[in-house]
């Protein structure tokens, strides 16, 4: 994408009512006003569901269409990508979806303890190199953040084409003595997979689905 297009999108991002771009300083100093008060934005107290590393927000918006009685929030640091989800959901008048441009390691500055009902992690970079372990979205640090903001019984969903990340995460769960609710190495050959995992596909998933198996993992901490 050219620099002119990026600048145009960054400018448009400032006008979207469903896109929040708090500064790192605001979050670190607990100045984000919607923390614990998301009902003031959504105008209801429906369950809050996050998609972490949402990219262009296509999964977030499709989840919102599929489940209108839940509120969906996509989080990503890439402003030029998240623009697409904010624009599409605005054009489609999706009132149960919004986006936040920030680092995922700061989510506990955006949500209070036990404020979130469910988390989706869809096709994250598996960060296979050992020196990149700290960036894996299911490492022990991130798991502790998820556990902190999730309600009792809140679920985490991991959908990926990386057998490495799927296996790594199962290994972590075993170490935590957590049995997955659902785990499959090829969800499209399993009709018992949750409908949100089967019925929604990202652009890249559609592109490579014939050459790569898609794994799916669902678990909760308690």
User: CA–CA separation, 102 vs 114, rounded Å?
Assistant: 20
Note if 161 is an active site residue.
no
> Which contacts (CB < 8 Å, 24+ apart) does range 192-196 have?
194/157, 194/218, 195/66, 196/63, 196/66, 196/67, 196/120, 196/157
Catalytic residue among 76, 125, 186, 210: 125
State whether residue 175 is helix, strand or coil.
helix
Q: Which of 168, 171, 170 is nearest to 182 (CA)?
A: 170
| 51 touches 73 (CB < 8 A) | yes
Six-digit token pair at 45? 């107290």
In whole angstroms, give the CA distance from residue 177 to residue 193.
23
Closest CA to 22 of 93, 89, 75: 75
Alpha-carbon span 34 to 32, nearest angstrom? 6
Residue among 97, 77, 68, 102 at smallest CA distance from 85: 97
List the catalytic residues: 125
């Amino acid at each position: 994408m050219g620099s002119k297009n990026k600048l145009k999108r960054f400018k448009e991002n400032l006008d979207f009512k469903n896109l929040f771009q708090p500064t790192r300083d605001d979050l670190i100093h607990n100045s984000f006003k919607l923390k614990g008060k998301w009902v003031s934005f959504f105008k209801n107290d429906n369950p809050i569901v996050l998609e972490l590393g949402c990219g262009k927000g296509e999964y977030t918006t499709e989840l919102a269409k599929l489940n209108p009685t839940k509120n969906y929030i996509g989080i990503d640091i890439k402003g030029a990508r998240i623009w697409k989800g904010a624009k599409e959901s605005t054009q489609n008048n999706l009132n149960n979806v919004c986006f936040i441009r920030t680092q995922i390691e700061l989510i506990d500055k955006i949500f209070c303890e036990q404020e979130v009902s469910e988390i989706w992690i869809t096709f994250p970079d598996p960060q296979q190199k050992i020196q990149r372990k700290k960036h894996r979205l299911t490492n022990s640090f991130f798991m502790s953040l998820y556990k902190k903001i999730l309600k009792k019984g809140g679920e985490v969903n991991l959908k990926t084409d990386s057998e490495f990340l799927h296996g790594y995460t199962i290994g972590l769960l075993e170490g935590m003595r957590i049995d997955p609710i659902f785990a499959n190495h090829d969800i499209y050959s399993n009709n018992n997979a949750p409908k949100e995992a089967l019925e929604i596909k990202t652009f890249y998933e559609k592109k490579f689905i014939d050459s790569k198996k898609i794994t799916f993992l669902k678990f909760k901490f308690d």
